[in-house]
Amino acid sequence: MAESDVKILGAWPSPYVMRTQIALNIKSVGYEFLEERFGVKSDLLIKSNPVYKKIPVLIHGDKPICESLVIVQYIDEAWSSGPSILPSDAYDRATVRFWAKYIDDKWFPALFEIAKAQGEEAEAEAEAVKQLLAGTTLLEEAFHKCSKGKVFFGGDSIGYLDIALGSFLGWLRVTELNGLIILDAEKTPGLVGWADNFCADSTVKEVMPETGKLAEFTKTLQSWK
């Protein structure tokens, strides 16, 4: 099947959409990006993802695949000749899936609340900061275990858990603009080095949103509260 048959329904600020883009870049698969407008759901999106009606959606030929981590796994399997994204060992695969779910269920929601609040709702923001910092400490420990002394969670190259966490680094930078340091060189040195390596990777650089542009987008989110 030709690469021109690969499309992404997404929007540039979405870390979940970025996961799909990075995975395709790792596999050197070309794709067409179909931009969805914030607050508006296109007919194609509703048709392609009638259950959740959310981005991202990967359309491979005429087949839609939904939910970012499901899409990343699909890409790894569909283009098996390229570099592997998921570990080959069953236990290692289970481990990275566990931490990816933790990131989506616990870690990023706290980061998102902080980014939206920006000084408002002080008590809720303080609790979110507490949860985020505690979660980041856990991810520092997970990095050392999963990376086995290498530069990425996936070892020598970007893998599944790198994509799951790294897609949120743009939002993390926006939060740090307000003076809250999340990746600390003393407390989380492993993640600090990892983040630098991740953002410098050729599969990531072209799809990582600019911090200033993303900061402006958070103002739009505030207006929707």
**Averaged pLDDT in 10-residue chunks for the chain of 225 residues:** 78 97 98 94 97 98 97 97 96 98 96 71 83 97 97 98 97 88 96 98 96 86 54
Nearest to 18 by CA among 172, 174, 222, 170: 170
- What does the pLDDT read at residue 125? 82
From-to residues of CATH 1.20.1050.10 in the chain = 90-223
From-to residues of CATH 3.40.30.10 in the chain = 3-78
Domain at 3-78: CATH architecture: 3-Layer(aba) Sandwich (3.40)
Structure tokens at 47: 């048709």
- What does the pLDDT read at residue 3? 47
User: Angle of helix 211-223 relative to helix 108-117, nearest 10 degrees?
Assistant: 80
The strand pairing partners of 8, in sequence order, are 33, 58
Work out the burial of residue 90: count CB atoms within 10 Å of its CB; fewer than 13 is exposed, 13-18 middle, 19 or more buried: exposed
Domain range 90-223, its CATH number among 3.40.50.300, 1.20.1560.10, 1.20.1050.10, 3.10.20.600: 1.20.1050.10
Model's pTM, two decimal places?
0.94
- What does the pLDDT read at residue 224? 46
